[in-house]
Amino acid sequence: MIKATELQRNIEGKPKGWMVLLEADPKNMVEAGVSAIKFFLEKSHHGIVLSAMNSNKLLGIYSSFGLDLKKLTVIDISQNVRDLENPFEVANVVIEVNKVLRGQKKGQKRFVYLNSINDMLAAHGPESSLKFLHGILTRIRIREISGVVLATQSTIYDRVKSELEQLCDRVIKV
């Protein structure tokens, strides 16, 4: 479980566009992610969830934890993106993000949540996943949106850990 104070402390004073890498123990993965989302929702943010796992399954999990699904928009990368290295597919994800942003009231606070690196790695491998993430993080930062990237400790994750840690502003381990 991640404490709100810990997340708050890590993002304090950071300019918009900060990214936190949330490295969770596999046993705590779901709870850690849900706690991070709750943190933002309690601060009246709207969440854009980039899901590298089946979005229906993910929404089912969030619902069981009592998250307000009306405050979340899920973009299903697992279904819609076949080739992470294809710039058109990355652009399509960004188009979806832009649609969400356009539909929001002016001044609406928002965050991006990526669930999870491990699902992406399992489906697409390290090089493609890293390139995709770099592209997405750059575009999200250009739009001055902040967020959280979820990762779980594992052998597959170890191969890309350092690359991701240097791309993010803070690393929180739970």
Partner 1 sequence: MANIKQRLEGAIKKHQKGAVIMMELPAEGYFEAGSAAVKFLTGKSFGGVYVSFQRPFNNVISLLKDEGVNVNKMLFIDMATMLSGEKLVDDPRCIHLSSDVNIDDLVRAIYSSLDRIKSDKKFIFIDSLTTIALYKPLSETMRFSEFLMREVKKRSNLLIFNIAQDLKQKRFIKDIALEVDEVVSLK
81 vs 130 by CB, closer to partner 1: 130
For strands 170-173 and 19-24, give the pairing: parallel
Which tokens is 109 given? 């606070």
Q: How far is the CB of 23 from partner 1 (least distance, A)?
A: 10
Give the interface segment with partner 1, choosing from 25-33, 46-54, 95-103, 161-169 (CB under 8 A).
161-169
Give the number of residues in contact with partner 1, rule: CB under 8 A.
25
Q: Which of 13, 42, 82, 106 binds partner 1 (CB under 8 A)?
A: 13
Q: How far is the CB of 129 from partner 1 (least distance, A)?
A: 10
Shortest separation between residue 68's beta carbon and partner 1, angstroms? 30
**Contact between 138 and partner 1 per CB under 8 A:** yes
Dihedral of CA atoms 138, 144, 147, 151 in degrees, nearest 10, equals 10
Taking the C-alpha atoms of residue 164 and residue 75, their distance in angstroms, rounded to an integer, is 21
Phi, psi at residue 136, to the nearest 5°? Answer: -70, -45
| Min dist. Cβ of residue 165 to partner 1 (A) | 4
Amino acid at 1: M
Determine if 125 is a binding residue for partner 1 (CB under 8 A). no
Q: Give the CA-trace dihedral at 30, 93, 158, 17, to 10 degrees.
A: -80
